Amino acid sequence: MGGGDSRQWRCVNVAGDVILQAAQIYPQTSANSEVFAYDTPDRLGTITILGDDLTPLPLSVGGRLGLYASVVRQAGTLQAPLGSIELGWDGRDSTKPVNSVVGDLLTTPTSLLVSLEDFSVTSVSGVDPRTGADVLFPFGISPDGLKWVDPRGVDITTSGLPERGIALQAEAVFASPGSVLDTRGGGDLFSYRWIPDPGGSLRSLGTATDTWAGSKSYSAGDLVLHSGKTWSARSNINLADYTLLARSR
């Protein structure tokens, strides 16, 4: 698996070796991304991360990245801003990862070695590695200015983000002097809120959930679908806003 940035996967299961090569690898916002490399009868399963480009911090926040194999070699860039990263599993039931695809049909590999190579970066920080500046991340909506709903539609007003951190679990963990583990905080989040004006307005951000019909009633600001486009209902219609076409007979 390779590319510029790599994030479009949730749970990958392989028997043998996996190589992930990209400028940076990170989970999507509030999502779990996992790779399991299982042992074969004649060899250990391994995961190798490669990549050495310095790129901007992704606007992906609160995700979880887990890589599980008998041997995990980290020689690239892993990012999970304000989220969590797990490399390896040490066999303890309390920390056993849950495979969302195969469940308990296969034995989760117990890691013998997790290795952090020179120039590798493993980070859950909200600080941009190129500029050293805090990053402001878009994260969910606030429907009334009081509640906070994350991109999954989950109300996090009181719970906040999931726990942040990095876990390295194996019989042996090796970190080269030039490797970087970044658990700094930094960064901040903002949510989107749409406030209509008294006469209703065009809502440029949002998703229509209903199709327009002349027999229905709408409130100012409601979003509706019509002719493949999204429209915002208005209480005061100004004909100057529209181009009227003569009806052909």
Per-residue confidence in pLDDT tens, the chain, 249 aa:
555 555 556 899 999 999 999 999 999 999 999 999 999 999 999 999 998 777 889 999 999 999 999 999 999 999 999 999 999 999 999 999 989 898 888 989 999 999 999 999 999 999 998 899 999 999 998 888 889 999 888 899 988 888 889 999 999 999 999 999 999 889 999 998 877 665 555 555 567 778 888 778 777 667 888 777 777 765 555 555 554 444 444
Q: Find the radius of gyration of the CA atoms of the chain.
A: 24
Q: What pLDDT is recorded for position 249?
A: 42
Q: What pLDDT is recorded for position 169?
A: 97
Question: Coil, strand or helix: which one is 137?
Answer: strand
Surface-to-core class of residue 106, CB atoms within 10 Å of its CB (0-12 exposed, 13-18 middle, 19+ buried): middle
Q: What pLDDT is recorded for position 111?
A: 97
**Both tokens of residue 247?**
């009806």
Q: What pLDDT is recorded for position 248?
A: 44
Residue bearing tokens 């979003």: 223
First to last CA, the chain: 60
Residues 6+ apart with CB under 8 A from 105: none
Residues 6+ apart with CB under 8 A from 158: none
pTM of full prediction above 0.95: no
Cα separation, 52 vs 90, in Å, equals 28
Q: What pLDDT is recorded for position 57?
A: 92
CB burial readout 178-217, b (16+ within 10 A) else e: ebebeeeebbebebeeeebeeebeebeeeebeeeeeeeee
Q: What pLDDT is recorded for position 208?
A: 76
**Both tokens of residue 171?**
């019989």
Residues 6+ apart with CB under 8 A from 93: none
